[in-house]
Amino acid sequence: MTPHIEAAPGAFAKTVLMPGDPLRAQFIATNYLENVREINRVRNMFAYTGTFRGKPVSVMGSGMGMPSIGIYSWELFKEYDVERIIRIGSCGAYTEDLALYDVVLATHVYSETSFGQTQNGESSPYRKPSSALNHALIQCAHALDIPLKTGTIHSCDVFYRENFEDFRRIYADFGAICVEMEAFALFHNAQVLGKEAACILTVSDNLVTQEAASAEARQTAFTRMMDVALGVL
Ligand SMILES: O=P(O)(O)O[C@H]1O[C@H](CO)[C@@H](O)[C@H]1O
Ligand SMILES: O=c1cc[nH]c(=O)[nH]1
C-alpha cells in the first residue's frame, strides 16, 4: 500500500492503461474486461484488474496534470512492480491536419514544465516513450485498421492560458501537434525507473478551428483508442 493506493501487493497486472478520468477507467473495466476486481478507491481514483482475451491487465485513472500522474505512475512502477503504462487520453489539436476523434500516438513529448528539473535535475524539455511499446501500438492499430497520427505532443501545466494564441508558437517552434497534460511526467518517471511508457490520445477539440466534441461523442470515439491499447497485451 502507498499513501494514495490501497491495493494489496501484486494486485496490479504488469500492464496498466491510464486515462486521466477515473470514470473512463471504470468504463473500460465494465465494457472490456473479464474477471474484474476493483483494487483502489482512495480519492475515488478507481483502479481495476481483470483480463482481456485471457491476458491480465489493469486500468486506473491518473487524475489531471503532471503532479497527479507523477504520483500514481511512480507508485505503480516502484511499489507495484508495474512494467508498462499506456496513457489513453484526450487532446486539443494545434493543427488543422488533425480532425476531431483522430487517434494520435506520441513519438516525443515537449513541455515547459519544471517536473523533470524538480524530480532529478534533468532540464531537457523533451522526453521519449518506449520505442518497443510504440512499435507494438502501431502494429496493433494496423491490424485493427485504425489510422494513427504520429508526432511530438505538448504536455502543458496550464489548461486555461491567458494568451490562447500561444499554441501557434509552440506548434511552430517545437513541432508539437496537440496538447494534453500528463505524458511528460509519465515518460520521465518511466525513464528514471527503467520502465516502459507510451501515450495515445483522441482529439477532443481543435484549437485552430475551435471545434469540440460533445461529452457523449467523446465516450464512443475513445473506444478506438482503447482497442489499440488493449491490443498490445
Ligand atoms: O482526457 P484526459 O486523459 O484527462 O486528458 C486531457 O484532459 C484533461 C483536461 O481536460 C487533461 O487531463 C488532459 O491531459
Ligand atoms: O489538455 C487538453 C486536453 C484537451 N484539449 C485541450 O485543449 N487541452
Summarised one tens digit per residue, pLDDT across range 108-164 is 999 999 999 999 999 999 999 999 999 999 999 999 999 999 999 999 999 999 999
- Contact status, residue 177 vs residue 152, Cβ threshold 8 Å: yes
Which of 62, 180, 204 to probe ligand 1 with, by most ligand atoms within 8 A of CB?
A: 180
Per residue in 15-55, pLDDT tens?
999 999 999 999 999 999 999 999 999 999 999 999 999 99
Catalytic site includes residue 205: yes
Q: Where are the alpha helices (DSSP H) in 80-206?
A: 115-120, 131-144, 166-174, 183-193
Q: Identify the residue whose cell numbers are 512492480.
A: 81
Task: Give nearest CA residue, ligand 2 atom 3.
Answer: 91
Phi/psi zone of residue 119: left (φ > 0), alpha (ψ -120 to 50 degrees), beta?
Answer: alpha
Query: What angle is formed at CA 137 by the lines to CA 169 and CA 204, rounded to 5 degrees?
Result: 45
Question: What confidence category does residue 219 fall into, taking pLDDT thresholds of 50, 70 and 90?
Answer: low
CATH code assigned to 15-232: 3.40.50.1580
pLDDT confidence of residue 215:
76
**89 CA distance to ligand 2 centroid (A)?**
9
Which candidate in 21, 157, 205, 227 is catalytic? 205
Query: What angle is formed at CA 178 by the lines to CA 174 and CA 183, rounded to 5 degrees?
Result: 85
**160 CA distance to ligand 2 centroid (A)?**
9
Nearest to 197 by CA among 105, 123, 61: 105
Q: Which ligand is nearest the CA of 184, by number? A: 1
Torsion angle in degrees (nearest 10) through CA of 78, 89, 111, 184: 10
- Contact status, residue 74 vs residue 189, Cβ threshold 8 Å: yes
- ipTM higher than threshold 0.95: yes
Which of 64, 100, 102, 205 to probe ligand 2 with, by most ligand atoms within 8 A of CB?
A: 205
pLDDT confidence of residue 121:
98
pLDDT confidence of residue 222:
84
**156 CA distance to ligand 1 centroid (A)?**
10
Q: Where are the alpha helices (DSSP H) in 21-157?
A: 22-32, 66-79, 115-120, 131-144
CB of 206 shorter than 6 A to ligand 2: no
Task: Give nearest CA residue, ligand 2 atom 7.
Answer: 92
Average pLDDT, rounded, for the chain: 96
How many CA atoms, within 13 angstroms, populate the side-chain half-sphere of residue 188? 28
**54 CA distance to ligand 2 centroid (A)?**
34
